[in-house]
Structure 1
């Protein structure tokens, strides 16, 4: 058996079907052989070996529980997924990771059958995957460095200013890759929420012509306007993405659309794209706490604290409901530093332009 085939062995020890069979699995094949079809799904997505092993074990546990309950695979309801998570006595982070994995599988299945119900999405919306609240998490300094290095890595085929390619010369993969890196950069370097990033408009970005970049924001609940300065590592990937976006003749004015037709990204897609890039950067490899867009937002606040920005000003920069929220985030950051053995307030980082923001 080759190494490649050895990496894809089902839970019962059998070698799965050929890659062609797996990659072409239809909905009926998923229902009859959910373990083998899942192996094919893993192979198609090219997960790292360690991640694939973990995902396969998670899926196998779900299938075994489903069989013990007399449930037909892939017919689960949101309540049944919640019951499965409760039965495993999982930490909140692992409950959430299970729910997102099931959600991703059903998202794939929805491409095989239109209007297919996604029970994991409903479980997440109903907070069945939440469990008890975890302490507020941040990225470790080394994890920040890995992520910033991934963000600043040269694009495979950068868009040249003097000779921009026409829309036909930009592949969908290049388009999505540039978008995803810029999206990750804005979530970490601007601290935006997922909903804010999904609704962000091109005209809200300042500094497109050069110099410091920032985003003009308005709170939806009270109409308060504020400005979000972007850390320096955001500038290059965001400009590169906007050039690619324009060159591909992307419709609409959303900064991060799902496709060139301008349609908004689904929130679940944002989580998936972020998780993929976190995995590629090596952030998830040895991490015990969950890493999500909220973790990136928390870390953005931490970078402001490290730069000397007062809590009240950080609350303004992140568009928080009140100034007290900034102090709570500061207290959570100090508690997290103590929990992880880091010196309080960590190391100083370069402050973004307009960092005081008060």
Structure 2
């Protein structure tokens, strides 16, 4: 009897260890790693930062499972690139860069723990982000003084229009005088202010779920103090909703602020003033006053020292643009005079 021998099929060798913690529960493994990791300053991450990064990682995991049909431990370089190119959280260059750095560190940690055998290469910048590539606008020192003067003008608290105007002035004062992001003012408490020669405010950082200390410019204090003197409850939010309940709606908060800024016209070399321009200009004032990168990171609430460095670079580029524009104007005037 002849025996027919057939080739015995073998199961593919897995590229990961079956039952590895990163395979069983990538979210819990990520939190465990993050709790023992160090930030750029060699310190451990705060609970608030861990919470935010865990949420970011969870967003990536959901995208990976629903769009690519893979778990984190089976992800490839093109899966990471697909997330960076298509996820809504990465539409803006800043968000894309934050996720890119986080994923690079997470996959490097997985490789060190033996869960995977590759690490993602640095992804190229998204070329379609025209808005993100737009030069960052700032106000000059003279323009900042002009805005502060408008904010310091007395408001009429005897009618609703005057009350809303005073609120708008206080909001703008926080952005230009303390570097608040537009959304942070909604969650500020009245009792977080310290009155003194150097006035500090503990500002809630919405994106990082943490707080940072901001140095309030003296020129901003009149508008802030006027609003506080109007009878805002010292134990509640600085900008309460109607009837003093909760915080005012985000969109409604900035209706008056946008109207106030629109009335100032065009500043910053032709740019129309915006809440973000006010925040940028606060950072510019810190740079001009000689504060270092660590101070800038603290007072602006940046989560990484790298972001403070980028901000300084953007301001330097703006200074160069303004100098060139001024030089071009002077040259045109000289040419016109010669004719």
TM-score for both structures, normalised by structure 1? 0.49
Query: Offset at 1:342?
Result: 7.2
Query: Offset at 1:178?
Result: 1.6
Answer yes or no: is 1:183 the counterpart of 2:171.
Answer: yes
Answer yes or no: is 1:310 the counterpart of 2:296.
Answer: no
Answer yes or no: is 1:230 the counterpart of 2:212.
Answer: no
Q: What residue ranges of structure 2 are gaps of 5+ in the alignment?
A: 1-128, 326-339
Corresponding residue number in structure 2 for 1:96: none
Q: What residue ranges of structure 1 are gaps of 5+ in the alignment?
A: 1-128, 158-169, 344-358
CA–CA distance in structure 1, aligned partners of residues 268 and 173 of structure 2 = 22
Corresponding residue number in structure 2 for 1:135: 135
- Report the secondary structure of 2:202's partner residue: strand
Query: Offset at 1:272?
Result: 2.9
**Alpha-carbon contact 2:184-2:204 (below 8 Å) kept:** no
- Report the secondary structure of 2:238's partner residue: coil
**Alpha-carbon contact 1:226-1:317 (below 8 Å) kept:** yes
1:283/1:144 CA distance change after superposition, 3 Å: farther
Residue in structure 1 matching 2:256, options 273, 284, 290: 273
TM-score for both structures, normalised by structure 2? 0.52
Corresponding residue number in structure 2 for 1:154: 154
Answer yes or no: is 1:241 the counterpart of 2:223.
Answer: no
Q: Deviations over 1:230-259 (max 9, x none)?
A: 00012222111111133xxx6971102343
CA–CA distance in structure 1, aligned partners of residues 246 and 255 of structure 2 = 17
CA–CA distance in structure 2, aligned partners of residues 233 and 213 of structure 1 = 11
Q: Deviations over 1:114-166 (max 9, x none)?
A: xxxxxxxxxxxxxxx98564111111333212201101223347xxxxxxxxx
**Alpha-carbon contact 2:190-2:234 (below 8 Å) kept:** no
1:266/1:146 CA distance change after superposition, 3 Å: same
Matched ranges for 1:21-32 at <5 A: none
Q: Larger Rg: 1 or 2? A: 2
Residue in structure 1 matching 2:317, options 332, 335, 338: 335
Corresponding residue number in structure 2 for 1:256: 239
1:258/1:232 CA distance change after superposition, 3 Å: same
1:144/1:176 CA distance change after superposition, 3 Å: same
CA–CA distance in structure 1, aligned partners of residues 261 and 207 of structure 2 = 31
CA–CA distance in structure 2, aligned partners of residues 287 and 222 of structure 1 = 32
Q: CA RMSD in A?
A: 3.2
Query: Offset at 1:226?
Result: 3.2
Corresponding residue number in structure 2 for 1:171: 159
**Alpha-carbon contact 1:278-1:284 (below 8 Å) kept:** no
CA–CA distance in structure 1, aligned partners of residues 261 and 164 of structure 2 = 16
1:175/1:260 CA distance change after superposition, 3 Å: farther
Corresponding residue number in structure 1 for 2:81: none
CA–CA distance in structure 1, aligned partners of residues 267 and 316 of structure 2 = 24
